[in-house]
Amino acid sequence: MNSSSSSSMGGEGRHDDDSGLTEFLSSLMDYTPTIPDELTEHYLGKSGFHCPDLRLTRLVSVATQKFMLEVANDALQHCKARQAAPVKDKSKQPKEKRLVLTMDDLSKSLQEYGVNLKHQEYFADNPSTGMEPTSREE
């Protein structure tokens, strides 16, 4: 009896999971992600995944959009913190505090997600540019 009850509970649990999954996938059709379905299908196709089920395509689009939104939100916090910091030289202080996404804020945000994004400090014509003359001769 115990085994039958446990198996029936397991069956009910699976039924709940299936209905929950179906409901979740159906809800994706009511939500239009910012990333177009065509773009997601293109990149899924490039990876070798062809899926006629639009719900799965939407799932990937929504997951990517969520990730990008989180990164952008973190970058926004870094931007606001930087603008709120006191500026020593008031002449350099910008007149209007416009929130602009920069590489500095983006790289700080992405570090928390394990993505290392570094912006080059400067560009040089050759490796010895900017070096001391003595070290250049060596």
Partner 1 sequence: MSDGGKERGKNQQTSSKKSRPSGDADFGLAISKIAVAQICESTGFRGSHLSANDAMAEIADLSLSCGFRGASDVRQCLVSSDVVREIAKFVSTEAEVPFFRSIPRLTVPSSSQRLHRLVITYLIGFRGYLHTAADANADMVEQTRLQMEERPLLSQQMVLAMIREG
The residue ranges that bind partner 1 (CB under 8 A) are: 14, 17-18, 20-21, 24, 27-28, 31-36, 38-40, 42-47, 59-69, 71-73, 75-76, 79, 98-103, 105-106, 110, 115, 117, 119-120, 122-123, 125
Residue with tokens 């299936």: 18
- Closest distance of CB 1 from partner 1, Å: 26
Q: Collapse the DSSP code of 41 into the 3-class scheme (helix H, G, I; strand E, B; otherwise coil) and give the result.
A: helix
Q: Are 75 and 105 in contact (CB under 8 A)?
A: yes
Taking the least distance from each CB to partner 1, the nearer of 50 and 88 is 50
Q: Are 124 and 130 in contact (CB under 8 A)?
A: yes
Taking the least distance from each CB to partner 1, the nearer of 69 and 87 is 69
